[in-house]
Amino acid sequence: MALSVLFVCTGNSCRSAMAEGMLREMIPGDHRDSVEVRSAGTANLEGMPATDHAISVALRHSVDISAHRSSGLTRLALDQADVVLVMTEIHRELVVELDPAVADRTFLLSDYADGSDVDVPDPIGGPVEEYEAVFATLDGYLRSLLPKLLERVGKA
């Protein structure tokens, strides 16, 4: 059974969409069937594409999220997730409010990655440079947490 990772942000059109695409690209080929990566947003927007800046910045780094469509956060999505990684503390609070049973497997992305306990800023509506900065931030966190996820897969 695959390890299920769910990224959560507000609209599921920038941060969590990029994180989902980035992590999928980072997972080594021999583990692609062992880790399922999804994303959702607390604003419960359905079917919206990733923002133009998120798509273009990701593509510049060889990550294609052009087919991404937003998903609203649901109890089912949370119940199916082994690890829920949120962008801000507010997102963590909203996740736990929606489904208290997932509190022990819901983490601030930065805290899970390196213990830094820092919110990932929302670039929505900002210039492409803000998206680049968020992409770089996400990249650092994902590179730090990938070994932890792969270790969990190895123990399963």
Kindly list the catalytic residues.
Answer: 9, 15, 122
DSSP string, 47-89: SPBPPHHHHHHHHHTT---TT-B--B--HHHHHH-SEEEESSH
Residue written as token pair 């990701």:
58
Three-state DSSP class for 123?
A: coil
